[in-house]
Amino acid sequence: MLDQFLTTPFFKYQNYEFTPLRLLLLLAVVVGARVLIASIGRLLQRGIFRKQQIDEGRQQAVIQLVKYAIYVLAALAALQTLGVQIGLLLAGSAALLVGVGLGLQKTINDFVAGLILLFEGSLDVGDIVEVDKIVGRITRIRLRASEMITREGVELIIPNSNFINANIVNWSHTNPQIEFNVRVSVSYQAEPQQVVRLLKQCAQNHRYVAKLPHPEVEMADFGDSGVVYELAFWTQNTWDIDRTKSDLRFAIMASFREHQIEIPYPHRVIINK
């Protein structure tokens, strides 16, 4: 009696028959897929992710990839359960799939780029990067697009293909300590050794300037109004480098005034005839 109920079609469409048994199997496929996704997610987070110390962004991307794979397999299993011949379906929709592929070419490129970023490891959450002259910190890496926040607090969503095809400057990928410089023009009357000593002293007194390598000073140029010196220093505070440079300029100006060293500026003489 039960077997007859489960196998009796209640709806027909062309050559396809829908029975209670097939609906139950379809429900089992859907529920099984959800349970499998949750189980694999917990297994990855408690096992592999914790042992390998994978960052949160990559964790979410891997879990998302697993979800997509399971959903595709579940969809194929569901169609098979309903009696749909997968081979004939794919053959009949080949032209449609080609058209969809062409229409989604940019999205597919972004997806593939996301996989490259995921497994290559060239970009990590927390990295400070420069994209199209915009500096920001990576906050999330997804399969299609990644997110970063600028120093001004603006959140940007950037397609992953941009990170693969464009020239990206990663300030913190391998070496978190980067060299920067500050230029200052000094009067020709100033003693060079004294200028070098004061510039190094200003850098060494700043909390964000690295002790090693030591700050260095070079005579960069002979300007129209004065000698141009370049103070080179290393810092891990790349995110707030503009503030660090500003602090150094304030300190340099105060030190030069204290030691009566002039910072020259061009003068204009207007002659009325």
> Are residues 185 and 252 both part of a single domain?
yes
Position 185 pLDDT exceeds 80: yes
For residue 33, how far is the Cα from the chain centroid?
A: 31
Q: Are residues 185 and 158 in the same domain?
A: no
pLDDT digits (tens, 9 = 90+) for 111-166: 888 878 877 777 888 888 888 888 899 888 888 888 899 988 899 999 988 888 87
Collapse the DSSP code of 28 into the 3-class scheme (helix H, G, I; strand E, B; otherwise coil) and give the result.
Answer: helix
Whether 238 shows a pLDDT value over 70: the answer reads: yes
Name residue 163's amino acid: F
Q: Is residue 230 within 8 Å of residue 183, measured between CB atoms?
A: yes
Is residue 59 in a domain?
A: yes
Beta strand 227-235 pairing with 178-186: antiparallel
Total domains in the chain come to 3
Does the residue 194 lie in any domain?
Answer: yes
- Residue 4, Cβ neighbours under 10 Å: how many? 7
Q: What is the CATH number of the domain that holds 188?
A: 3.30.70.100
Do 26 and 6 lie in one domain? The reply is yes
| Range(s) of the domain holding residue 78 | 2-92
Tell me what pLDDT residue 194 has.
Answer: 94
Q: pLDDT class for 23, splitting at 50, 70, 90?
A: confident
Residue 129: strand, helix, or coil = strand
CATH of residue 159: 2.30.30.60
Residue 72 scores a pLDDT above 70: yes
- On whether both 87 and 49 belong to a single domain, the answer is yes
- The pLDDT assigned to 109 comes to 82
Alpha helices in the chain (DSSP H): 2-7, 20-46, 48-52, 56-81, 86-92, 94-103, 105-120, 160-165, 192-204, 241-258
Name which of 47-56, 113-122, 163-172, 254-263 the model is least confident about. 47-56
**Of 37, 70, 92, which residue is a domain's last?**
92
For residue 260, the model assigns a pLDDT of: 92
Question: Residue 270 domain-assigned?
Answer: no
Distant-in-sequence, close-in-space partners of 160: CB < 8 Å, separation ≥ 6: 110, 111, 113, 114, 116, 117, 141, 142, 143, 144, 145, 146
In a domain, 100, yes or no: no
Cα 19-22-27 angle, rounded to 5 deg? 130
